[in-house]
Amino acid sequence: MNATMKAIRFHEYGDPEVLRLDDVEVPAPGEGEVRVRVAGTSFNGVDANIRAGRMQGPMPMDLPHTPGLDLAGTVDSVGSGVTGVEVGDQVIGFLPFGADGAAAEYVLADATSLAPAPTTIPLSDAAALPLVGLTAWQALFEHADLRAKQRILVNGASGAVGGYAVQLAKAAGAHVIATASPRTRGQVEKQGADEVVDHSVGEVADAITEPVDVLLNVAPISPEQFDTLLGVVRDGGVIVNTTVWMPAPSDEVRGVRGIDLFVRSDATELTELAARVDRGELTVDIGERVLLSDLTSVHRRAADGVLAGKVVVLPTVE
């Protein structure tokens, strides 16, 4: 009889209650794959959209499906043709949309997509880095081409992507303006924000005294708010937006480009992010650690808007 493991799966799209804790067969790695014993995964907002069936067009998948795009764990078995990764290696990765994820005791991953895990934080906590860290990195350096002494406004800085973006932008020598609430002001200041705008009182744009070179939007805002923020971007500047259901505006007359970011897996970038963690240049902030059997509650609290901070999910059950 084949070995089994615990995994969270949904057999149909719907509300958080469609998530079930199942006993499933432990997968065997194929060519180019490794099997990873999961130390942790994390919850991302896109997980809820996938579970609810809102992403079926761009992300078709077979059901039942195991969520969990972020992975931190230890290589347990290696498939044929794998080089550079060995059993016992501690790794992190961003798993493909549509493939079974890491909300399980074991998961398969393309060996080339994995990076060495940072060694200065618990392995399970490293699951909070891949998707959001890569989103911030690609937004700043691939799409915005952020450079030293430029001015950047991070709208939504108190979230996970925003927090990494503030840290990375500051390290790049940029002047960082971050939005936050009174409750999260200290957090973004600690991460390196030069200026903090309280988004809970009036329009953010009204508080920007000089044009910015880059606007990174990671907050759910209205089209009207987005158009107002467009006005604080200098001629020739760039807007990078991660809320893909709300397209980034642009202004051809002024040469302001609007870019909608779709994050991709990149082991080289992930290796650099992990190295920065180990050098003390990048902080991984964890809001909460929960058991695999509590994942339904996480999805429910996210739907109710009461989930605070980055949630790491541990592959254990009560």
Q: Is residue 266 part of a domain?
A: no
What is the reported pLDDT for 203?
Answer: 86
Residues 233, 145 within the same domain: yes
Question: Do 256 and 137 lie in a common domain?
Answer: yes
Token pair, residue 50, equals 């996938």
List pLDDT tens digits, range 97-114: 889 999 999 999 999 999
Please check whether residue 172 lies inside any domain of the structure: yes
- Nearest-5° angle of CA 103, CA 105, CA 111? 85
Residues of the chain with pLDDT under 70: 1, 318
| Sequence-separated (6 or more) residues with CB below 8 Å from residue 260 | 241, 244, 247, 248
Domain presence at residue 271: no
What pLDDT is stored for residue 1 in this prediction?
Answer: 47
Q: Report pLDDT for 291.
A: 97
Domain-located, residue 275: no
**Same-domain check for residues 228 and 302:** no
Do 115 and 146 lie in one domain? The reply is no
Tell me how far apart the alpha carbons of residues 5 and 27 are, in angstroms, rounded to a whole number.
9
**112 & 136 share domain:** no
Count the domains in the chain: 2
Quick: pLDDT tens for 207-255: 999 999 999 999 988 899 999 999 999 999 999 999 877 889 999 999 9
Given a contact cutoff of 8 angstroms between Cβ atoms, the answer to whether 148 and 173 are in contact is: yes
Report the alpha-carbon distance of residue 258 to residue 138 in Å, rounded: 15
Range of the domain at 119: 4-129+285-314
Task: Give the amino acid at 92.
Answer: I
pTM of the complete model: 0.95
Assigned domain for 280 exists = no
Give the model's pLDDT for residue 318: 61
Give domain status of residue 138, yes or no.
yes
CATH number at residue 158: 3.40.50.720
Query: What is the structure's pLDDT at 254?
Result: 97
Within-domain flag for 186:
yes
30: domain CATH number is 3.90.180.10
- Indicate whether 68 and 161 sit together in one domain: no
